[in-house]
Structure 1
Amino acid sequence: MTAVGFAQQTDGQSVTELDEVVVTVGRQTQMQSEASAPVSVVDREEITRRQARSIDDLLRDAPGVTISGGPRRDALMPTIRGLSDGRVVVRLDGARQNLQIRHRGQTFLDPTLLQRVEVLRGPASTLFGSGAIGGVVDFRTLDAQQFLAPGEVLGGRLLAGYQSNADEGVGGLTLAGQRGDLGLLGALTRSQSDNFVDGDGVEEPFSASDTLSGLLKASWRPAGPHRLSASYLDYADDSPSRTTADRPRGDAVRRLTRQRTAALNYGFQPVEGNLWDLEATLYRTELSLDERQLEVPGRSQAELATSGLDVFNISRLSLLGIEHQLTYGIELYRDDQTGLEDGQPDPGFASSRQETLGAFLQDRIVLGTRTALTLGLRHDRISQRAERAGEAESRFREWSPQATLSYRLFDGLRAFASYAEAFRAPNLRELFVAGEHFPGNTYLPNPDLQPERAHNKELGLSYLRSGLWGDGDRLRGQLSLFRNDIEDFIEQIVRGDSGDPPNTTRFENVEDARLRGVELSLDYEHPAYRLGLSGSLLRGDDEGDDTPLEGIPADRVTLSGAWKLPGRAMEAGARISFVARQDRLPPTTDPDAAGPAPGHVVTDVFINAALSSALDMQLRMDNVLDRSYRRATNLVNSPGRNLRVQLAYRF
């Protein structure tokens, strides 16, 4: 996954930029090549090149990352190393996105409003608390200072796009202004699409969408140590769907999805002194799902509000001649969920509350010019309770240690070994769900659920070398081998007539799980072309009965390349994804289980061109050969051939 600019236009001349990629998802601003954990980045230019319309477009090439639940957009959720559904922390401008309802997505946004995305793969509870068993996805929205060119006071962009498969139209307007230290940006996008068709020409019902998204962001960056920003992001999707949006069957509904995220961020970084590099974020996320039955009378409503405060500081010290970089802080947030069924309390999404307080400390110790040791520890206190009378309250206290040793083998090549523990507290629905699951089967609450606990061992290499075979070129690579052992894995257990108790469904801690795998990414960048390779192999097993885990993605290798056409501000390229057959599946009685997913090869081609100094065009065709395929983590076929075109006019 490349994350650097390929070419920019300056006074009519094409120049190449191959600056080192900076990452912040680990709470430390550092060079990607120096990070002692596998991190993938998608920047603004790459988002535009992909004509990204969903998180699938954003994250599909990151090794170890898949998007499960799709391809309907209201069911998409990130899966890292086979873990999803609350086992990945998702943040938007620093605000946690904590919705967890089976058969639905976790977060909703329009990629055209994003500045960048960072993905941290592997357990990260030491810095991010509950849920970071699989990793962290961090979304950052557009900013006026980054949107405008240096010295530009006012500017804007008109965006128009079209996709042939679902007859989707996209339009957007962004306006930004910068006056002295103050910046203001506003953006609005609208998209409408019909149902898509798969490679066999079969239309997928309830896959249409109608979305409206808006962003307001103000920033203040004086010359001194202070910086302040405030953002408000609003997303609405009013579309037909199914009650089980990730499945081929389910009741037809009209679902209004609304997500609003407000964040206030303050930073303090004096030019002189190493004791302060402070960042504080105050936020609130409100997400609501309003479903109206289309075939029979009925209405259900689910709302989740997350309010939080995240504060941390970085201090750089020298003690006895040894350099220390201390990262320490607190995280406080509260989830309030409410469910209604035809105007009455819905036991399937019980009104309940979770409060979390976490404190963490991490010390990066520099031992000479080649070696660094990172030690970290976090403590979380979590309380959860339902509002209905007589419901017991659940309380958890969890410690999350982590240790990483990194060593620079030679110039450009760094090795690391790490051990990290992470946890996921059972969510409110798993603890307190009740009522009917399906006719003849009833949910049972389980307030005695215990948190899932992960123990991850990992070895990795990172490589960065410029000027390798010519002026201005660069080779960057990452390799990771890991084993993640998870205790008290939580699963939904459905029991029939012979069950104990019979005809019930309950979330329970089952046997331990083990995930192990390897991830690889290589990117070569040259002033005239770029090449990419990424791949991942993952195995997951239930250690109790030695059966495969559910939801493990297939082995995958992706090749990509782009060539700049001589004398033109244009590049053309292709992407080929090779996906193996996935038949390592657990036994199941699920009537919708799709069985093994056949292997497949999908080819995309694209052209990106600057038609003038103000007008850019992106043209691509996905699934050129119109293959019919289904991802192993999905129950519905993916779209067939799709022609995409996008025009962006800067003014």
Structure 2
Amino acid sequence: MVRNNRQLRVGIRRTALAIAIGNSVFNPVLAAQLSELDEVLVQSSRDSSTAAQSKRATAVITRQQLDEQQPDSVAEALKYQPNIEIGGGPRASNQQPVIRGLSGARVLQISDGARQNFNAGHRGTYQIDPELLEQIDVTKGPAGSMWGSGAIGGVVAQTTRDARDMLKPEQRLGGYAKQGFSSAADQTKTSGAVYGRLNEQVDVLINGYYSDQNNIRLGNGDDLMYSSERDSGGMVKLGWQLDDNQRLTLSHRRSESSGAVPSNPAANVVDNSSVIDRESTDSNSILEYAFNPSSALINVDVSLFHNRTQIDEFQMVKGEQDSTDYRTVGLNLVNRSTLDWGMLTYGVDGFEDKSQGERSGPNRPIPADGRTQVMGGFLQADLPLADAWTLTPGLRYDHFKTEANNISDSQRSDDEWSKSLALSWQANDWLELIARYDEAFRAPTSEELYTTGTHFMVGPFSNSFVPNPDLKPEKAQNKELIARAQFVDLLANDDSLTLNASLFENRVTDFIETQVIMDFANRVFESRYQNVQNAKLRGGELAVNYRLQDLDLGLSYGRTLGKDANTGRALEGIPADKWVASVGYWLWDRQLKLGTQLTHADSVSADNAQYDDYTLLDVGGHWYGLEGIELGLTVDNLTDQYYQRAFSELYEAGRNVKVNALYRF
């Protein structure tokens, strides 16, 4: 994508103007009112703040929104949010969120507070099906002072379902059975759960799903070859309320996926030589303890977790068998203390990643047989300076070390400090302004440090991977302005309007990328991961929501521009500017909800490609008419557009009619 400096300035001015207009046209005597969404806890914040209280740019997707949207992936569930895009192509198992132009290992993924660190080549990293989730929330921008390595683009927190959330107040046993169908890939999906209270202290949830789909149909009527797959998974969660102040939770989740896919699922298939039969198994176990007595000094959460991702692959044409095994064990301890002069959030955490794999056949990459350990401690303070001002400093220290068992003298260690500072001004009852600065880093992965073997062949010549244990961590420094306004009785009695806007500039140094080095004069033909680029990412987002009785209206805009700070050239991979307009309306005494979303993405010009603009119309309805029965109908891409997201090789799914029926008992 090539955009000059004038376009960059124009884009920032557009966003700033929209924010200024939104803040100037409203009557300042109106009082604020929190919506239900505002009161949802933001798990990615780690300080028990709600969406309204958080001093960061956030997005929250509730269980009701998941039911109405029926997404196949976490990334798809976030697609209507400003400055969040779907990366990885249309195959759901390969999709990932792109937050303000950053994705992959640059966006930290957590599930029930446990890090999900798996990252290996062209393999999917988001293993949790939305059917198992109660909520998804996102912190946009660097959050290293709270989370440490990996959170330079943001944090995606996935919270799984819980028996307590699903049981009615006097109910002891419940469950549901759900059947769904999606037309774009002839997908059938069966899911269900049983949950209940064994006694006054113990509750249990058993949740599972199975789905099977054919190849994805595109907007031009063609099929995306090798996109069929089968997925299944489930979760068991046991909760024990020890007393009014203590709770112990043990959960185990497992998912399996299988299908024939290209070795790079985000790339076009030239021939079947790159097609592999891939089977993925992901499991996650978490033991959580929460202690929240009457003391204002103690509100502690402790968790131990173990993750394991195993991938077995068989290259059909060459007959080569591959395997990948990635494990993470970790510990989190967080406490929150409320004092006379403010609030402290502090704790320690650590994890160890182990990766190993096998590749059969000659002239193949050899995966890292490595181990990485990270330990950190953090402190954040919320300090009221006056009635309307709050200062929130944060500081974190991390120590990490890594080594490869198959490479001598590969040990290395390093230390990083991550700082943050936010200043909040509650200007009046309806307007809050926040200025903040955040740092973050991402330690190099074992794959980036230690991969060896052959990268590719050119005739008789092989390009070989060369380990680079001297890689520097990627680092981010983000400056941001956030404005929030909330009003009631604006145009009519009992209506409400909320506005959220932000402007940001994120400087990321020492980007790690694969470099192919060709110096035939000196007999050098090799690949290695190197720190090659310093990036400047600038942009903003604006979201306005209006509610009047049974009517909900929304409008959002997101824009991110990126350039290489050294050369001034525009960065590739930055998503297109995106507008989303939405309408929701309740009928029949709130038994039926109808909704529509209109998404427009601008065109993008790159050095070697042009990505056209596109407009998508999604419509749907959800019926709650009978006790225990819910029916849903959603049509994505109603007009059957044949479109391609910016910098994606693949075109997306055409019209997709999704229906589901749920019976709850």
Structure 2 counterparts to residues 303-382 of structure 1, below 5 A: 303-318=325-340, 323-342=341-360, 348-382=366-400
How many angstroms apart in 2 are the aligned matches of 1:303 and 1:203? Answer: 32
Unmatched segments (≥5 aa) in structure 2: 1-34
Match of 2:219 in 1: 199
Q: Counterpart amino acid of 2:42?
A: V
Match of 2:279 in 1: 256
Q: Given the alignment, which residue of 122, 128, 137 partners 1:118? A: 137
Do the aligned partners of residues 514 and 568 (structure 1) sit closer, same or farther apart at CA in structure 2, a change above 3 Å counting? closer
Q: Which segment is superposed worse, 517-526 or 615-624? A: 517-526
Q: Counterpart amino acid of 1:171?
A: T
How many angstroms apart in 2 are the aligned matches of 1:639 and 1:499? Answer: 47
How many percent of aligned residue pairs carry the same amino acid? 33
How many angstroms apart in 2 are the aligned matches of 1:42 and 1:542? Answer: 33
Aligned length: 623
Q: Does 1:427 align with 2:441?
A: no
Shift of 1:567: 4.3
Do the aligned partners of residues 122 and 499 (structure 1) sit closer, same or farther apart at CA in structure 2, a change above 3 Å counting? farther
Q: Does 1:616 align with 2:630?
A: yes
Q: Counterpart amino acid of 2:372?
A: Q
Match of 2:146 in 1: 127
Structure 2 counterparts to residues 143-162 of structure 1, below 5 A: 143-162=162-181
- Note if contact 2:364-2:454 (Cα within 8 Å) is conserved in structure 1: no
Q: Given the alignment, which residue of 58, 67, 73 partners 2:77? A: 58
- Note if contact 1:437-1:443 (Cα within 8 Å) is conserved in structure 2: yes
Structure 2 counterparts to residues 24-423 of structure 1, below 5 A: 24-178=43-197, 179-249=199-269, 251-270=274-293, 272-318=294-340, 323-342=341-360, 348-423=366-441
Shift of 1:498: 4.9
How many angstroms apart in 2 are the aligned matches of 1:230 and 1:361? Answer: 27
What is the CA deviation profile of residues 11-47 of structure 1, one whole-angstrom value per residue up to 9, with x for unaligned ones?
Answer: xxxxx96773332321122231221111110011111
How many angstroms apart in 1 are the aligned matches of 2:614 and 2:147? Answer: 36
- Note if contact 2:251-2:285 (Cα within 8 Å) is conserved in structure 1: yes
How many angstroms apart in 2 are the aligned matches of 1:567 and 1:195? Answer: 40
How many angstroms apart in 2 are the aligned matches of 1:104 and 1:532? Answer: 35
What is the CA deviation profile of residues 485-526 of structure 1, one whole-angstrom value per residue up to 9, with x for unaligned ones?
Answer: 111111111233559773211111113110001111222233
Do the aligned partners of residues 260 and 466 (structure 1) sit closer, same or farther apart at CA in structure 2, a change above 3 Å counting? farther
TM-score (norm 2): 0.91
Shift of 1:74: 2.7
- Note if contact 1:69-1:104 (Cα within 8 Å) is conserved in structure 2: no
Do the aligned partners of residues 450 and 97 (structure 1) sit closer, same or farther apart at CA in structure 2, a change above 3 Å counting? same
What is the CA deviation profile of residues 238-260 of structure 1, one whole-angstrom value per residue up to 9, with x for unaligned ones?
Answer: 11111111111371111001110
SS of the residue 2:97 aligns to? strand
- Note if contact 1:416-1:461 (Cα within 8 Å) is conserved in structure 2: yes
Q: Which segment is superposed worse, 332-341 or 487-496? A: 487-496
Q: Does 1:477 align with 2:499?
A: yes
Do the aligned partners of residues 465 and 29 (structure 1) sit closer, same or farther apart at CA in structure 2, a change above 3 Å counting? farther
Greater helix percent: which structure? 2
Match of 1:569 in 2: 591
How many angstroms apart in 1 are the aligned matches of 2:37 and 2:610? Answer: 42
Do the aligned partners of residues 599 and 501 (structure 1) sit closer, same or farther apart at CA in structure 2, a change above 3 Å counting? farther
Structure 2 counterparts to residues 431-580 of structure 1, below 5 A: 431-439=449-457, 440-470=462-492, 472-496=494-518, 498=520, 502-567=524-589, 569-580=591-602
Structure 2 counterparts to residues 601-612 of structure 1, below 5 A: 601-612=615-626
Q: Which segment is superposed worse, 501-510 or 197-206? A: 501-510
How many angstroms apart in 1 are the aligned matches of 2:296 and 2:363? Answer: 53
What is the CA deviation profile of residues 282-308 of structure 1, one whole-angstrom value per residue up to 9, with x for unaligned ones?
Answer: 101101111111222101111110000
Unmatched segments (≥5 aa) in structure 1: 1-15, 588-594
SS of the residue 2:224 aligns to? coil
Q: Which segment is superposed worse, 70-79 or 285-294? A: 70-79
SS of the residue 2:44 aligns to? coil
- Note if contact 2:38-2:51 (Cα within 8 Å) is conserved in structure 1: no
Q: Counterpart amino acid of 2:424?
A: S
- Note if contact 2:535-2:565 (Cα within 8 Å) is conserved in structure 1: yes
Shift of 1:441: 1.5
Do the aligned partners of residues 609 and 430 (structure 1) sit closer, same or farther apart at CA in structure 2, a change above 3 Å counting? same
Shift of 1:473: 3.5
Q: Which segment is superposed worse, 135-144 or 104-113? A: 104-113
How many angstroms apart in 2 are the aligned matches of 1:51 and 1:499? Answer: 56
- Note if contact 1:94-1:263 (Cα within 8 Å) is conserved in structure 2: no
Q: Counterpart amino acid of 1:234?
A: R
How many angstroms apart in 2 are the aligned matches of 1:387 and 1:343? Answer: 21
Match of 1:630 in 2: 644
CA RMSD of aligned residues (A): 1.9
Q: Counterpart amino acid of 1:88?
A: V
Shift of 1:202: 1.3
- Note if contact 2:597-2:618 (Cα within 8 Å) is conserved in structure 1: yes
SS of the residue 2:75 aligns to? helix
Q: Given the alignment, which residue of 584, 599, 610 partners 2:613? A: 599
SS of the residue 1:112 aligns to? helix
- Note if contact 1:186-1:217 (Cα within 8 Å) is conserved in structure 2: yes
Q: Counterpart amino acid of 1:97?
A: Q
How many angstroms apart in 1 are the aligned matches of 2:316 and 2:564? Answer: 40
